[in-house]
Structure 1
Amino acid sequence: MKRNTHFLVKTALVAALYVVITFAFYFLSYEAVQFRVSEVMVLLAFIDPLYIPGLVLGCFMANLMGPYGIIDAVFGSFSSLVALLMIYKTRQVLGYNLKGLIVASLWPAIFSFIIAFEITVVFGAPESFWFWTVMVAVGEFVVITLAGVPIFSWIIKQDRLTHMLGFKAEHYN
């Protein structure tokens, strides 16, 4: 019972933080090139797959309450889920190290075509599918790889933070 409560609290906290950070930077979160600061949190999936439900739920809620509603909530959450699963899988394959973290950070940009499909096909944007794929990928790459990797590399080396997040930093190379 204690494990279930811990998991539910962690999931709710991560989801709430994702939504709050997304809305705190609203002016960056829903533009053509999205620099969604909350997306840095997807690297939590590299640390522990138990963060994945909270991240997907947070993405769903932020998109549902955003300007594009339920359609964005469904496509965005699906894109996040696939990327998050690949982030964790990358850790399993490449290991818990800087190289693994860098490669893992690329998955949200790689799956940007899902959001591009939503924008061009579902919403009928006049620009091409490839234009939107690049626009979404640039935002994901800047926030997650260029900003997130250094932040998480630093976090992983901080004993108090790693303990709070529930993982052991000594495994990280």
Structure 2
Amino acid sequence: MKNNTKRIATTAVVAALYAALTLALPILSYGPVQFRISEVMTLLPLIGKEYILGLTLGCFLANILGPYGVPDIIFGTLATFISVYLVYLTGKYMRDKKSTVLVASLWPVVVNAIIVGIQLNVFFGYPLFLSMLEVGLGQFVVVTIGGVILFKVVNNKYGKYLKNMF
């Protein structure tokens, strides 16, 4: 019972934090060039799989209230789910632990560039390759540059505490 309560609370906190960070900065969070600050959280599944659901729900909530409607609710959320699941698998199966966070950070970049880029093209008429490049660039800046640095700093300083807490 206690573990379920802890898992539900963790999922709710992560989902709320992701959605709040996205919605608080709509100019950066939506559009062909996206710098969703909340995307730094997509590296959390390296700590544990329990973060996958919270991140997916947070993205779903942010996309419900975002400007792109049903296509983003479906495909944007799917892109986040696939990304964070691949981040988790990278952490679980990669042997070289020193480069794990860097390699894992590339999944949100690639997956979102492809899925969201195609979504922007099909549903909103943006040029396909330009959309993929812009979404990928935003993800790279936030997740691979900012997220990796933040993850390493936080994990080095508070890693044991975070694992015990959640």
TM range (shorter): over 0.9
Q: Does 1:43 align with 2:43?
A: yes
**1:64 deviation in Å?**
0.8
RMSD: 1.6
- 8 Å CA contact 1:47, 1:167 repeated in 2: no
CA distance in 1, matches of 2:42, 2:34: 15
Answering whether residue 28 of structure 2 is matched by residue 28 of structure 1, we say: yes
Counterpart Cα distance in 2 of 1:156 and 1:96? 17
Aligned letter for 2:20?
Answer: V
What letter matches 1:119 in structure 2? Answer: L
- Are the equivalent residues in 1 in contact too, given 2:32–2:120 (CA < 8 A)? no
Same amino acid, percent of matched pairs: 40
TM-score computed with the length of structure 1 as normaliser: 0.89
> Which deviations, in whole Å up to 9, do the C-alpha atoms of 1:29-86 show, x marking residues without a partner?
1132100000000000111111000000000000110111222011011011111111
Structure 1 residue 93 displacement after superposition: 2.2
CA distance in 2, matches of 1:164, 1:12: 19
SS in 2 for 1:45: helix
For residues 41 and 89 of structure 1, the distance between their equivalents in structure 2, rounded to whole angstroms, comes to 16
- Taking the TM superposition and a 5 Å limit, the aligned residue runs for 1:106-117 are 106-111=106-111, 112-117=113-118
1:72 maps to: 72
Please name the residue that 1:152 is paired with: 151
Comparing 113-122 with 10-19, which one deviates more in the overlay?
113-122
1:91 partnered with 2:88: no
Which structure 1 residue ranges, 5 or more long, are not aligned? 169-173
Higher relative contact order (CA 8 A, sep 6+): 2
User: In 2 relative to 1, CA 39–132 (structure 1 residues): closer, same or farther, beyond 3 Å?
Assistant: same
Relative to structure 1, is the Cα distance of residues 96 and 51 closer, same or farther in structure 2, using a 3 angstrom cutoff? farther
Normalising by the residue count of structure 2, what TM-score does the alignment of the two structures yield?
Answer: 0.93
Q: Point out 4+ residue stretches in structure 1 off by more than 3 angstroms.
A: none
